[in-house]
Chain A
C-alpha cells in the first residue's frame, strides 16, 4: 500500500507532545494499511468532513454487541480501510492484566486486525481498532478459546462494567469492587452481549467517595462505597500530623515547600459542612453532618479512616454526551449493603427495579438519567418504591415541601386563610 502525502497530519508531529501520527507511521511500516488511515484522515482534514461511515450488520454470531462496524466512504482511494471495524474486549476487573496477556492480545490483533489499539475506551474496554468483516469470527474464536476473554458491551446493551482497584490495594474501599464487578458481569451476560434497553446502560463501581472510576459522572448506575457510622479517629496520629511528623496527603504534594501543616487551614476550614473542630488538641467530628467528602481522610490518612459499618451509595442517571452537556448521577439510595453472602441481591434488586421501569417508560435513545429528568425525581422515587429523604432534596432546608402531595397534607393545599390567621397571627 503506498504512502500518501499528509502535510496537515505532519504538522501534528511538530509539537512537543507525543503524536498519534508518529505512532501510526511506525505501525504502517509493519501494517501498510495504516498508511490508508493516515491518508483518509488527511482527506478528512482537507474536506472538513469524516470519511467514516459506521454501523451495519457486522458482528459475531449470537452477539448483538462488542463489535462496532466501520467502513470508509472512499474505499477506492483507501482500500486498506474499506472495512475498519472496532472490537471491544471486556477488560479484567480493575484492569489487572499481565504483560503476557497484553502481548497475547497484541499478537492476536496483529494477526486479525490493524495492530492499532486504544487502551482504554471510556467504558474501560480494551479497544482494538480496525479489522475486516471476514476476520471477526476467527478472531472471536481465538479470543474466547485461547485467551479465555470475551467481547464487551456496545450499542443499547449493558456496557462492560468497570471498577476501581478496591480492596485489592486501597484501605479506603468500603466494599469489594472487583468481586461485585465480576459477579454482575457474569450475572448479566445476556444484557452485555445482546441489546436489552432503550439505550446504553453503564455500571461503575467505586470503593469509596473518592470515586476513582468517576462513577458519579460516567455511569447510569454508580455504586460508590460509603459508611454509616463514625469516621475512626486516631488522636495520637492527629497530633503527629500537627507536629509535622507525618506528611499530609501521604506526602503526595511534597515536591515543594508548603510550610508547616496547618490543620485549621488545610482540614477544618475546608470541610464542606463545617462539621469538624478542635477541643484542645483533640479533633472532634459531628458525624451526623458529615457528607463523606473524604477530604479530611485524604489529608490525614494515618489519623482518620472510614467507619466500620460499610456499604455503598447508589447514584443513578449520569451521562456525558458531547452535545447536551454532562449530568452527574442523582443520589437515589443513601446506603445499601453490598453483601457477597447473598450474591449481591440487594444491589441486583435495585438494578432490576430501575431496568423494569426504564425499559417500559424510556424513549428510544433516552438514557435513564434523561427519563428521570423527564418524569421528575418525585415520580421516579415513587415508582422505585423509595421513601424520599432529605438527602434527595438539593436544598433541604430551603425547600422541604417538594415531595408532599395534596392528599398527604392534612386539609390539603386549600385552606381558610382567615381561620388560619386567627390561630397564627402574622
Chain B
C-alpha cells in the first residue's frame, strides 16, 4: 500500500534523523515506500530540501541528503572545514 505524500515525507525525515550516518543517498529513501517510483522519491527529497527539512551534502563526487541539524553538529556551520 503506497503512502500518501505527507506520510512519505514524514517517513523520509524519520529515516534521515535515525540513520546511523547523517548523509544519505537518494536510494536510501526508497525503502520508506517500496511501492513508490524512485523518481517520485527523488522529487519529494528535493521538495524537502526546498522546505529546509533536508539539505544537500556533497562528498565532492556524489551529492547526498542530510538533516541540517545533524550535519551541522558533525561539521559545524562552515561545512567540513
Residues in chain A within 8 A of chain B (CB atoms): 53-59, 62-65, 67-71, 75, 82-83, 133, 154-157, 190, 194-200, 355-356, 359-360, 362-365
Cross-interface CB contact of B79 among A133, A200, A355, cutoff 8 Å: A133
CB pair B62 A360 closer than 8 Å? no
- 8 additional A-B pairs beyond A57-B66, A69-B80, beta carbons within 8 Å, are A54-B60, A56-B81, A63-B56, A68-B58, A82-B81, A156-B26, A195-B56, A195-B62
A-B contact count (CB 8 A): 107
Query: Which of B38, B43, B55, B63 has the most C-beta atoms of chain A within 10 angstroms of its own C-beta?
Result: B63
Q: Which chain B residues have a beta carbon within 8 Å of chain A's beta carbons?
A: 25-28, 30, 37-39, 42-43, 46, 49-50, 55-66, 71-72, 75, 78-81
The residue on B at minimum CB distance from A361 is B38
Contact (A364, B56) CB under 8 Å given A56-B79, A69-B80: no
Q: List 26 A-B contacts (CB under 8 A).
A: A55-B58, A55-B60, A55-B80, A56-B79, A57-B56, A57-B58, A57-B66, A58-B58, A59-B56, A62-B49, A65-B63, A68-B60, A70-B60, A155-B62, A156-B26, A194-B63, A195-B42, A195-B56, A198-B26, A356-B37, A356-B38, A356-B39, A359-B38, A360-B30, A360-B38, A362-B27
Inter-subunit contact B38/A154 (CB<8 Å) = no
Does A56 contact B26, Cβ atoms closer than 8 Å? no
Q: Complex: how many Å from CA A58 to CA B30?
A: 25
Whether B46 pairs with A59 at a CB distance below 8 angstroms is no
The residues of B that contact A360 with a CB separation of less than 8 Å are: 30, 38
Residue contact A156 to B62, C-beta cutoff 8 Å: yes
Q: How far is the CA of A257 from the CA of B55 in the complex (A)?
A: 64
How many whole Å from A200's CB to the nearest CB in chain B? Answer: 8
Residues of chain A lying within 8 A (CB to CB) of residue B81: 56, 71, 75, 82-83
Residues of the B chain whose Cβ atoms lie less than 8 Å from the Cβ of A200? 61
A83 proximity list for chain B (CB < 8 A): 81
Whether A194 contacts B49 by the Cβ 8 Å rule is yes
Counting chain B CB atoms within 10 Å of each CB, the highest count among A63, A70, A82, A195 belongs to: A195
